[in-house]
Chain A
Amino acid sequence: MKDTRVIELDEVAIRFSGDSGDGMQLTGTLFSDASALFGNDISTFPDYPSEIRAPQGTVGGVSGFQVQFGKKQINTPGDYAHVLIAMNPAAVKANAKFMKPGGTIIYDSDTFNEKNLAKANFATDDPFAECKLNDYFKIPVPITNLTKESLKDFGLDNKSVLRSKNMFALGLVCWMFNRPMDYIEEYINTKFGKKPVVAESNIKVLHDGFNYGMTMQHMTPTYLVHPANIESGIYRNINGNHATAWGFLAAAEKSGLELFLGSYPITPATEILQALSERKDLGVKTFQAEDEIAGITSAIGAAFAGDLAITTTSGPGLALKSEAIGLAVMAELPLVVVNVQRGGPSTGLPTKTEQSDLLQALYGRNGESPVVVLAASTPSDCFWYAFMASKIALERMVPAILLTDGFLGNGSEPWRIPKMEDLPSITPRIAKNSETFKPYERDKATLAREWAIPGMAGFEHLIGGLEKNKMGSVSHDPDNHQINCEIREEKVKRVVDLVPDLEVNGDDDGDVLIVGWGGTYGHLISAVRELRLEGKNVSLAHFNYIKPLPANSAEIFANFKKIIVCELNLGQFASYLRDKMPQFTYYQLNKLKGLPFTVNEIKESVYKLLEE
């Protein structure tokens, strides 16, 4: 038996894993929050099945939550986990491939019986050997029995007792990583405020888990991860979906408009609808429509009637909304459409992440139907891009599509809270002069029309999906149609003056430029950082504005010998760049596994490119 080990690390990734009913998402979230409060930088990644409760004990039913925390900047939840908490054999099987060589596996030895091994389809009684985990540090802990023992005096039924197993694991992990547990206790007390017995029992189990670790020092390694050195300010943890919702609240307040959300629940976007439904205190109008189409068309109606109108969805929902997006293009109404991308096509992989809706967002409509397309790149900057999408839509009278993804939406990170006064202003183009008002008269510089809202006397007019002339009357005139198609395209192009220049992470010139967009930022920047530490001449250009592209894009590309476009699809952004900037050669790194990149696979592809 090994001695107690104290391991000092810059960063550690832990994966909590068990049956989808084992409470692993909550355990992971509580641990992450406690770590952030302790002062670590963190990044999280929930990985769960689409079935709410798949058969117990099977690999398909395993729900995982990975968090990486450290004393330096953390941009990803970690490619591989240093520590795995496995509540049953299926969790070991499902997660073996995510383990760092030589890592630690803590498992509930009570569940490693013949029945559960069979459910997880293990052929032998040594699951670790089968998964080639022999060289790992394994710590069997009889979590089930210890939890039962811990709660024997509470008079709880067996089901309630077993439900507290996750708190034992959490307490144990808190001890391993020196986490203070005040935050977790506070959470439990608030959540079960009305059921003091449940609160008390959970806290008891939590402490017993912590104390078990302390007592069993001889077998458990402890890790020291010091607080990170981060910019001063007020921080909170936020996931991408909440940040998106709150970005719209900020835009509504800044523009002086009421916020209307028409939406239909769809994984992984539903949380935005939920987060805004909670905000009646801020006057948000949320409308859970009968389908995706009514979600967007009600929002278009609200845009016509003067609200900051948005609709939120994921891939299949964006497909259903296509015709209505075309209407917003034609009527020239301010509208923001959020697509929290997931694996496709069709129902695809609802709970997994992907970036394969880019071309759908850009082109997936009938007719020439240009819209502004933006993409958020971290959980917390979803706030900023939701805000900017609203600003562009309102100031340019144009629909904007904001792309996030399941990884950003569910993933969380600490966020330095901005002040409203520091955000840019938003000035909706409310029409002022009824004498001169024409529905499709345009600003000379931006080509944006004015917004006259029902209820404004003297501004009565009609808009619609038919091609029209300046007055808004239907026009089948051939020249008029061509001119209008060109104007609508040009109007989107001119949004470029609101788009900041593309930045380069690393040197402004060099051997390889990694190009990415949206939710892959954390992995790409981590890879670039490591490659540069190894002395490689590699930089990153990461896009948040897709249509229009930042004005200096070509200028930056020209300074690199090779360009590799990394994305979680078969090359959609690469083909868009080939269309817009054909003078460059684009190498590609593409992944379609429903999972984020790993830092390693990005580095490998760059090594290969450097050798060629």
Chain B
Amino acid sequence: MTVTQSIAIPTTMQQEIVTAENLVAGYPGKTVWRGASFGFDRGELVAIIGPNGAGKTTLFRLLLGLQQPISGLIKIFNDQPKRGNPRIGYVPQRHIIDSETNVECLELVHLAFCGHRWGFHLSSKMGRKTALDALEAVGAAELAHQPLSVLSGGELQRVFLAEALVSNPDLLLLDEPLSSLDIRRAKELVQLVDRVVRSRNVTALLVAHDINPLLPYLDKVVYIANGKVATGKPKEVLTSERLSALYDVHVEVIRDSRGNVAIIGIEDHHGDEQ
């Protein structure tokens, strides 16, 4: 489907979806984080975790081309990030759906498919079919004719995921999809994202507050705190030694008998001068 695969380039290059080298992000006069280097391959599920205000959403804004890096290199599909990249599916944080918004789910997903086209067109069979397929892919086909205003948090997240998937992207950016869900719903959504990632071979970056529901499925983790970024496989990154060395404070990573992780010692320090 993608053009890049037909071009004869080394396999490793071809698979790389996102790369960053020594990336510094922020706004003029204020650095949010610096020194980020990472690479995400096709078909990987990556969690981006860290305390509030550490700059997790900033990373998404860079990838979406809504914000420019202060310095360093960021590439997406071996190209500069640009606004409106059709190969990215995006689910923003805190999607507010007004209780008066009576529009049905299928219409929202359909608009994500054709909403960028000008001119009047009541409804296309093909577009509606594509939208319905996207809803089916997230197990929400029966929500198609439900208005957005009556959905539960978990159902909304499924519909938003369908909205992101409808353009058949290669990269999914999910900003805090678990934040308003209880543990069971969060687990179900993570399983769904994992299924989507494996079956469609897309890369998904998922911003989360708590890494534990994600741990069994993750390929990589990006830990952002105190203006620094640690990245790698969860087992390598989430260790007391690695995080202590990176942040120059004593950090303890505690694991319980079920494999749940708690990171202690870093969140107290966050939010200070860069």
Genuine A/B complex: no
Residues of chain A at the chain B interface (Cβ within 8 Å): none
